[in-house]
Amino acid sequence: MTSTTRNSKVLSNITKCILLFFIPHFLFAQEEDTTHFQEVTIKGNHQKIEQHTTLTKNEIQHISSNDLGGILQYITGLTIKSYGGIGGMKTLSHRGLGGEHSQLIIDGLPINNPQNGQTNLSNIQLNNVEEVGLNQQNTEQLIPVSGLIKGSSVQLKTFDQQFSNSKIAIRSNLTLGSFGQKEAYLGFKKSNKKTFISATGGYRTYDGEYPYQLPFGDESIKYRRNNALENYHFSVGGGLRWKKNVTIQKLKFSAKRNVIQQELPGAVIIYNDLASETLETEVTSLGLNYTLLNRNLMVKAFATYNNHYIHYNDPTYLNSDGFLDNKYTTNSIISGFHTRYKWNNFDFNLGHDINFDVLESSRNIGQPERMTNTSMLKLKYNTTFFNVAASAFYQSFIDANDIQTHRNSYYKLHPQLSVFTSDSLFKNLQLSIWYKPSSRAPTFNELYYSQIGNKDLSPEESSQINFGARYIKQIKKTLFQIQGNVFKNKVDNKIIALPTQNLFVWSIQNIGRVDILGGDLHITSRTAIRKNWKLNFQAGASFQNAIDVSDEHSPTYRDQIAYTPKITGNAMASVHYKKAGLYFTSLYIGERYSLNENSNGNRLDPYLIFDLSASYNFKLNKNQNIKLQAGFKNVGDISYNFIKYYVMPGRNYFLKLSYEFN
Amino acid sequence: MNLIKYTLILLLFATSCKKEEKDDQVITGKDGFKNGLLVLNEGLFQHNNSSLTWVDLENGEVTENLFLNINDRLLGDTGNDMVSYGGKIYITVTGSSTLEILDKKSLKSIGQIQFNYNNQSQEPRKIAYHENAIYVTSFDGYVTAIDTTSLNITKRIKVGRNPEGICVSNQSLYVANSGGLDFQNPDTTVFQIDLNTLNVVDTFTVGKNPGAIIADEFDNVYVVKRGDYASDPAELIRINTQSKTITNLGITATSLSMRNNQLYLSYFDHGSGSSAVSIYDCASQTIITNNFINNQDITTLYGVTPYLEDELICQDAMDFTNTGYLRFFNLTGQLTNSIKVGLNPNTTIHYE
């Protein structure tokens, strides 16, 4: 049997298993969480489709991921490129669009990284996160318009920044895990009707020496070297709210610092495990958020400052210094507003974000600066049967760098359109269609990185067309929901790095075009079996055919683009009996290629990972709860990697003790 | 006895099952490999996918992943150079920091030398040979002498920064010190090492970032100074080892090879994406043919290997990220054959 047929057989068997596995899966989301942080209660038709997939606090706890990257894998349609266990870089890709097309928003504040365009999701821990959501198009929330123009946005709400009903709230936990994982977290919040103040802090260390085995010949078990991490973070926050007649106003501030010192193991290099690079990351941020809300008008305004410092060191580099040592500091200020006025059946939205970034470094790349402006004007018409929204976005990128003469500024107008049916049209069924184009600016690295940067790059253009449907039905004790999308996306002027003179000298060019056709399906179900029993299931699967259509004479023409699995799937199930819970999660990543050429040598095997954990709540009294959770990750001890030779940990264990006071 | 037999059969079955995971079948004849081409594919940095491909010249069959299939392990990351000397094949694997030594006929590994020194990867690059010894440059600034019988390291010779090309002329080694890892400040020198004493005896300044180097039979050594990839172009420099004169011949080049005292220069212009091959006659010191192949026939020229008496094999790296080809040309510049071999083919050895 040749390997190709063998592989496809394995794949088809795995696919069958997946299908069998997912069919009986349904979801039961804990009701208490769904509206927990809904700052605006939308009156009337609450079954209107929000193209907004969320994971609640309970789900986040069940998945017990080490970081944001781990949790986002369970949102259908997102693919997380993972370069290792704890501390290993994780970036996201949404429906075949690169990570630069997604915007991360934490407590209403956009987080960006102009240096490389995407946030390392492994740097964001979840101890204080109470909601994670993905927003693709339609949302009633007034998120920053720079997030709305992006292909998608991931929104986090944290304990630190929410008004609370309890006078004193405490969140704390201790975690012990395999490969030297030790974590501690403490959060404190004091609130009354008008104010809150919060303080949180956490510390974690990790040795990261996990075993792995490569699937070649007599390769023995080896251990990941140079993979340790130490991280501390803290934050303070506060808020004020006041009411005058029917107008509520809120003001919140936050200050945060996150410091990570880590070793970088890099890709596993056969016969050579002497890598000894290190990376130090320090992020300091300040934020201010203002909200005004009355019957017809809602206003949100924000301002945030971010200082992002990274220090890379390679003590074995073979130059004349004998080491490589680079430091980069990015300072960013982002400010904006988003306002909505309701008049009869119309909603008028208006928003503007302004963003200023400066990068300073120890390298000879000058001092790049960028001013980004995003404006939005949106009109929405709500009828009995339809909601129609049309918006115009205006994006501008104005770049400057003291070591270069000229770089063209970029201005672009993007129209967006969406039509949603309400459930008055079809009972229990909602349909939607939307169109969304966007541009993403080249990153500072792509523009100026020594030798390879190309200051003439244009922004990368993407567009998405999506048809969606959602069906909700209550069948006896089960609330059943099925949601599906078919999408057609396109990327033009894709920014691609290619080796030029030799394999060590790369250049970055605007040469790529990608066509993406895909669909996803998400099934959820809520069942209460008996008084003390609850069963929660959910499953999602997504398909994306993301092909390179840059050049029809290229050998990769119509090949699936690198690191974009055609098929991904996830499933979560939990059983609750009184104070005990049993949780099960699984993740399937289909075959993908390490380079655009879909050859056998570039092919990476699909994998299916299972996690299993159990918890017990010791409710001390009305206000206090202690929870003990223990679990296995990668129960099957599968040897896998998403990125070629960035091996992931096999079976590992964790034990988590949490204490909450409300 | 029967038990042993069945156990052996079982074992055989088990191993053959395991073999199915490989990409190709092993094709070693009784007399070992002959009448074919052995191609070293560099692979892509940090992908561990350097490989050997065999092209059978009798039936045109191509066998990939030969090293893995024969030796049951990977060759490693970034195979940079391969030479055939005294019945053995030597391969420098830069990323893995190893030197692989294979039996030429069976391609079985008979040794792997780890190029680590002081707990640091040395990153071996290019190989030269002379009188039962091979000489390997490594990026940590050394030339390592290895006895080809005992396969022991006999001496480490300190040279300039990040040495690349190495060649033998008369009783001397010539080593091109690139300094390529000091981006703004590359090295500019070629060192001469006396093969009797293995000491550096002379230094020639040839220009920025010297790389490929080769010797003719007229006491000349030719070296490519790669410049800065911008205003300072990659050009051919001649060192006359007797008169100690250095001449910039003003010919663009990236890699060099020699047949009958004719120097074959390959040049890939990354700016325009054009590939060119020229032939320089070392006896008359003149260009015989300038850019005689059709640029359309090659995507990314990654080196030229003279083949038989009157043919050329151009290694085509296909934008460096797609499976590369061997392109066969006759001396009138016509493309006669193309064979798909592997990712970034950089060296071809002809087996008769």
For residue A645, the chain B residues in CB contact (below 8 A) are: 46-48
Q: Is B149 exposed, middle or buried (0-12, 13-18, 19+ CB in 10 A)?
A: exposed
Best mutation target among A503, A508, A563, A603 (most B Cβ atoms within 10 Å) is A503
B173-203 pLDDT tens trace: 999 999 999 878 999 999 999 999 999 999 9
Distances (CA, A) of A182 to A75, A205, A333, A653, B182: 27, 5, 34, 12, 40
Q: What does the mean pLDDT of chain A come to? A: 87
CB contact under 8 A, A318 and B140: yes
Confidence category of residue A71, pLDDT binned at 50, 70, 90:
very high
Edge-to-edge strands, sheet with B62-63: B62-63, B51-56, B36-41, B345-351
B298-340 pLDDT tens trace: 999 999 999 999 999 999 999 888 999 999 999 888 999 999 9
CB contact under 8 A, A271 and B97: yes
Q: Which residues of B72-108 are buried (b: 16+ CB within 10 A; e: fewer)?
A: bbbbbbbbbbbbbbeebbbbbbbbbbbbbbbbbbebe
pLDDT given for residue A218 in this prediction: 63
Q: Which residues of A473-502 are buried (b: 16+ CB within 10 A; e: fewer)?
A: eeeeebbbbbbbbbbbbbbbbbbbeebbbb
Domain A3-661 in CATH 3.40.228.10: no
Task: Give the one of A217, A271, A318 whose C-beta lies nearest to B139's C-beta.
Answer: A318
Residue of B nearest to A450 (CA): B183
Whether residue B271 is predicted with pLDDT greater than 50 in this model: the reply is yes
Whether residue A25 is predicted with pLDDT greater than 70 in this model: the reply is no
For residue A6, the chain B residues in CB contact (below 8 A) are: 20-21
CB contact under 8 A, B121 and A272: yes
Domain boundaries of chain A, sorted by first residue: 3-661
Mean pLDDT of B116-145: 96
pLDDT given for residue A52 in this prediction: 52
pLDDT given for residue A491 in this prediction: 95
pLDDT given for residue A272 in this prediction: 93
A46-56 pLDDT tens trace: 344 444 588 88
Tokens of B30: 């009784």
Best mutation target among A212, A213, A268, A318 (most B Cβ atoms within 10 Å) is A318
For residue B189, the chain A residues in CB contact (below 8 A) are: none
For residue A318, the chain B residues in CB contact (below 8 A) are: 120, 122-123, 139-141, 162, 181
For residue A317, the chain B residues in CB contact (below 8 A) are: 181
Compute the distance between CA of residue A506 and CA of residue A313 in angstroms, rounded to an integer.
21
Residue of B nearest to A4 (CA): B23
Residue of B nearest to A597 (CA): B322
Question: In one letter, which amino acid is A52?
Answer: H
pLDDT given for residue B247 in this prediction: 97
Task: Give the one of A268, A505, A555 whose C-beta lies nearest to B318's C-beta.
Answer: A555
Question: Do A582 and A556 contact (CB within 8 A), yes or no?
Answer: no
Tokens of A445: 């690295």
pTM for the predicted model, two decimal places: 0.88
Interface size A-B, in CB pairs within 8 Å, comes to: 130
Residue A519, beta-bridge partner list = A486, A543
Compute the distance between CA of residue A595 and CA of residue A600 in angstroms, rounded to an integer.
11
Residue of A nearest to B142 (CA): A318
Q: Which residues of A534-569 are buried (b: 16+ CB within 10 A; e: fewer)?
A: bbbbbbbbbbbebbbbbeeebbbeebbbbbbbebbb
A149-194 pLDDT tens trace: 999 999 999 999 999 889 999 999 999 999 999 999 999 999 998 9
The better pLDDT of the pair A220, A657 is held by A657
Three-class SS of residue A365? coil
Q: Which residues of A395-419 are buried (b: 16+ CB within 10 A; e: fewer)?
A: bbbbbebeeeeebeebeeebebebb
Whether residue A374 is predicted with pLDDT greater than 80 in this model: the reply is yes
ipTM passes above 0.90 = no
Whether residue A135 is predicted with pLDDT greater than 90 in this model: the reply is no
> For residue A565, how far is the Cα from the chain centroid?
17
CB contact under 8 A, A274 and B139: no
